[in-house]
Structure 1
Amino acid sequence: MDIAHLRDFITVVDSGSLTRAAARLYVSQPALSQRIAHLEAELGVRLLERGPRGVTPTAAGRALYRDAQRLVRQFDRIAGDVLSGDQIHGPVAVGLPTTVSVRLAPALFSWTKAHHPGIHLQLFESMSGYIQELLTLGRLDLAVLYRDDDTVRPAETPLYSEDLFLIGQPKPPAADADEIRLVDLHDTPLVVPGGRSNLRALIDRAFAAQDLVPSIVADVDSLGSMIRIAAGGEACTILPLSSVADQANHRELGVRRIRNPVISRSVAICNAVEYYPSRDAVAAVQEGITVVTRQMAAAGEWPGIRLA
């Protein structure tokens, strides 16, 4: 087994089809099938289930896929570090939840370009649950993730905390109120992310702790769509203040801090150091995340956050 076989296998799993994987690898499908068969024979296990709709990894295949991701990435890092000499450079994959990416991604890009032009950022934006999954699989070097509290955990650096706000115009609460009680939202129609989102889990727990059930009328895994639906007046959503502060009509949206209880969450930079030591490039980008977050908070460009 060599690194090329692992790259082939990763491409097949990502593609879900030998035909599509062969096209991406610029080889014939029979040649790629032979390579995978050779890998299975070498390991003595079946790695893929073949079917009319493509291929899916077996349990052994999923285990190999996870470890192969880490090995291939580490191999590429070693090669890059040898070639780079004293200059900090190379790819750094960073996962950002959507509500964080809105603020952080442009500032981090500019900071990295100015301070470490040799670093090639790979920014992944998605719901927090999927970002966590990518970090666990070894697909990311760093991830900014939500936490229920500000407890310091291994391989994590606390970044900031923030409260959640009701976005929209619920009735009957007073339209001019800056705050709203959680109990007053028990029959307010809400659009929130689906079950893989930390935000959804936090909302569900907050309501359950008060013996309430949120009136969720739709699962919407898009920040922009949630805000537009709230602006339309047929439902509300729950988001951090920074998600809507740049909206031209954010005051008309009806932005109210939820209280009794306040719903807060902490945000941390998570490093995949349990899989391999941090490279200089990863450490530099982690520093950049902290620096630009503090700069934006000091300048009032990231409303609603409290620095760790």
Structure 2
Amino acid sequence: MREAGVVDIAHLRDFIAVVDAGSLSRAAGGLHVSQPALSQRMAQLETQLGVQLLVRGPRGVLPTPAGTTLYRDAQQLVRQFDRLSRDVAEGGNRLRGPVAVGLPTTVAAPLAPALFSWTKARHPGIHLQLFESMSGYIHELLLAGRLDLAAVFREDDAPRAAEVPLYSEELYLVGQPDPRPDSAEEVPLPWLRAVPLVTPGARSNLRTLVDRAFAAHGLVPTIVADVESLGTMIRIAARGEACTILPLSVVREHGNPHELGVRRIVGPVLRRHVAIRTATEVYEPREAVAAVRDGIVEVTRRLAGEGRWPGIS
């Protein structure tokens, strides 16, 4: 591979648009240029870098492995360039600009409103972009360079690059299994082997944790449906047709824990750890991102200390 030439930021924008659209014609329409002109720009970009970036076929275009790498890094580069341009144009020392934060649904419910209020009061020049979804999709957005920060789930609290520990929490059985356990407050994990469960799909950290906990006892959980919606899981559990496994904090947001049949899982206790992760491991994020990261830690501690985020430590 020959030495790469200087790449125009405009060509990177065009490349991102093509990958997002999956089609040269659709991307050309969105960019308001002709398809031949856009195709020529992509060919120039491949020539400059000395690698093939796109595979063209009858159903559109897909990135090659090199193209996927460029797409991920170009997302961050273009966003940083845009922020730099705005900061220079606006001047001043106040922190400003967009900060994209990804929060799994179980984290977003208690944290997002308080984080919005904190940011508005402390750094009104920062424009929060909050993305709420299941943990697997949030992780994909982070890897693709679409987020500056993301809350990630871990099975242990070992220190990791680019991460700041946030909190840990236990998981609970939600629903009324039949037959019901003898204890009104606790249920042993092995007892759940025949209980029908609804959980997120295989990409979810919660599903991985549940599968591994059962496997450690030589068991396989009875998963009757993959449900990628927190509210739907709780509604199914409330109907009594299946149970689910969730942290206590989000259950309280959706109803009375006693009526929902919330029980602490023991033997072993299911615990997961949450950290806030930045998009890069190799350098400290820009000041606005670091400020929001510190704000997330501060808000979480305050909510826990005031008893407004039950079940976390």
Whether the TM-score (by the shorter chain) exceeds 0.5 is: yes
Aligned with residue 262 of structure 1, among 252, 269, 272: 269
TM-score (norm 2): 0.92
Instruction: Give how far 1:97 is off.
Output: 1.0
The alpha-carbon deviation at position 275 of structure 1 amounts to: 4.6
Task: Say whether residues 1:128 and 2:170 are aligned partners.
Answer: no
Q: Secondary structure at the match of 2:121?
A: helix
Deviation at 1:135, TM superposition (A): 2.2
Aligned counterpart, 1:96 = 103
Q: Distance in 1 between matches of 2:119 and 2:34?
A: 40
CA contact (8 A) 1:165 1:241 kept: yes
Note if 1:166 corresponds to 2:173.
yes
Alignment match of 1:29 (pick from 20, 35, 44): 35
Post-superposition shift, 1:246?
A: 1.9
2: distance between equivalents of 1:125 and 1:143? 10
1:198 aligns with 2:202: no
Structure 1 stretches lacking a partner, 5+ long: none
TM-score (norm 1): 0.94
1:161-199 residue CA offsets vs partner (Å, 9 max, x unmatched):
000000111021248711111011000000101111111
The residue type equivalent to 2:95 in the other structure is I
* Aligned-pair identity (%): 68
**TM-aligned CA deviation for residue 3 of structure 1:** 0.4
Tell whether 2:18 aligns with 1:12: yes
| CA 1:43–1:154: 2 relative to 1, 3 Å | closer
Q: Is the 8 A contact 1:138 1:275 kept in 2?
A: no
Aligned residues: 306
- Amino acid paired to 2:120: K
How big is the shift at 1:303? 1.1
Query: Which consecutive unaligned segments of at least 5 residues does structure 2 have?
Result: 1-6
Instruction: Name the counterpart of 2:4.
Output: none
Distance (whole Å) between structure 1 residues aligned to residue 163 and residue 88 of structure 2: 28
* 1:289 correspondence with 2:296: yes
Partners of 2:231 and 2:131 in 1: CA distance: 17
Q: 1:75 to 1:275 in 2, by over 3 A?
A: farther
Q: Match for residue 62 of structure 1?
A: 68
CA displacement, residues 132-184 of structure 1 (integer Å, 9 cap, x when unaligned):
23323322211111111122222211111000000111021248711111011
CA RMSD of aligned residues (A): 1.7
